[in-house]
Amino acid sequence: MAQTKYIFVTGGVTSSLGKGIIAASLAKLLQSRGYKTTIQKLDPYINVDPGTLNPYEHGECYVTDDGAETDLDLGHYERFLNVRTSQANNVTTGRIYQSVIEKERRGEFLGKTVQVVPHITNEIKERVQVLGNSGEYDIVITEIGGTVGDIESLPYIEAVRQLLWELGDNNAIVIHLTLVPYLSAAGELKTKPTQHSVKTLMESGIKADILVCRTEHEISNDIREKLALFCNVKREAVIQSIDASTIYDVPLLMQEEGLDTVTLQKLALPNTVEPDLGRWNEFLARHKNPKDEVTIGLVGKYVELQDSYKSILEAFIHAGAANEVKVKVKSVHSEYITADNYKNKLKGLDAILVAPGFGERGIEGKVKAVEYARVMNIPFLGICLGMQMAVIEYARNVLKLDKANSTEMDENTPDPVISIMEEQKTITDKGGTMRLGAWDCDLKDGSLVKEMYNGASQISERHRHRYEFNNAYLEQLESAGLLATGFNKETNLVEIVELKDHPWFIGVQYHPEYKSTVANPHPLFVGLVKAALDHKKA
């Protein structure tokens, strides 16, 4: 296409309405019609990236191939579109201000007074158009975090207003996602919150082109007419987004409502190709009609908030569909696992996944969970910290190095089987300073992990950690039966460990969950679910 088209997704009334899912669903529909589509997220908080945010506050931190620590919505974008994202797909206010201040320090503004308008808004407009100017995409969807009227969102809304004017008619549109609440006392849906939200948007100089109304009840034709009239949009541009049983239903619901059709019309794009959603529908059919069920324990320390392990939970959905199995994930808080109760807490599980994390809270519970999986021959996958716990457990209980530990938990441990990387020792800043992004890993012949990856000799997976397997203990651990079966050639660091005398026991230093998508479920999750089913049947 000659010119990239832009779609801005704003939200009103309340947060957590699902802007990311709506954006990803629309992108899926446009992609299935042959348009090259990508999505980016503008986050209004002042953190430079979400890497330093508490998972309880913001959910998981998602990592891209190029090592960007980003918002978890980018995970939805990749899972839906099966297209890799990058640093350009997530922009925060912190990054915007950091860039503008650095330019001012270098003297790029020639002594001008640096202000929100035009300097901050110009920086936002530049970032919005980075993907569009790359020539790779026909359509760029930009999701703006927070809700309209938030103080921190104002520069973004102003930048969008300017872009709509600069790009001209039919080149950029605004989709406004809002809530139509149901008041049980009155027994009816209320449109006033949506009207106020649209009015707030208009006060900033932006007219919504399409309204997507989140609701728990069907919206009647009368209400659609009322919203169209009072919110100044066309009747066909009032789209209902009703609660769905799974987020993977949303693209189909949006197609039924005609969101993609009205979008193409507003952007003056051809609407001649019907969406090809064959593979998507196959996945949904397998997901919704499982032939069996397994229960997998997710042992972690942030289990109270589901979003803390969002990518893991979604990877289980993809792997479950691939195996035609319903995966019931049982969350087990590692902080409350003790030597007295661990058997009771973990009994009845068909497989165990020990989750990633940072810090020493709850790690002894994770060690106990690994021991239970190893001794009881239960299929086990350890991710990042989970893999490190597997190494510590083996060193303590098999090599009899009772005080073996990671230097992250105990700097004075006599047996640091997990230790900080040399180049990390001098780093004091916390943000964006870990081993991040995609790294290659060579797989050993004859290993279980090589079999899981369909015989591949080399894989590329995403990392997010500071501490590593200590090679000084490699020989000891291998001779005792814990095999290192994946190495990074560049650093000679161990990436994967597995047990030879166990049905299915793998620990990986990387995060496989980040690369699992609807179209390509991750082989380790597919393998773990299959092993769980075999274990259940046996």
Catalytic residues: 384, 511, 513
**For residue 398, which of 492, 509, 483, 485 has the smallest C-alpha distance?**
483
Classify residue 371 by its DSSP letter: H
Say if CB 394 and CB 482 are below 8 A apart.
Answer: yes
423 Rama sector, left if φ>0, alpha if ψ -120 to 50, beta otherwise: alpha
Neighbours of 217 (CB within 10 A): 14
Classify residue 341 by its DSSP letter: T
How far apart are alpha carbons 378 and 372 in whole angstroms? 8
Tokens 């849906």 sit at which residue? 189
Two structure tokens written together for 533? 């089913």
Cα separation of the two ends of the chain: 56
How far apart are alpha carbons 480 and 478 in whole angstroms? 5
Q: How many degrees, rounded to 5, is the angle at CA 34 between CA 30 and CA 39?
A: 45
Task: List residues forming the annotated binding site for ATP.
Answer: 16-21, 73, 244
What are the two backbone dihedrals, phi and then psi, of residue 50, each rounded to the nearest 5 degrees?
-80, 5
Task: List residues forming the annotated binding site for Mg(2+).
Answer: 73, 143
Sign of torsion, CA 528 531 537 538? negative
Alpha carbon distances (Å) from 466 to 262, 348, 399, 413, 417? 47, 34, 25, 17, 14
Peptide bond preceding 251 in cis form (omega within 30 of 0): no
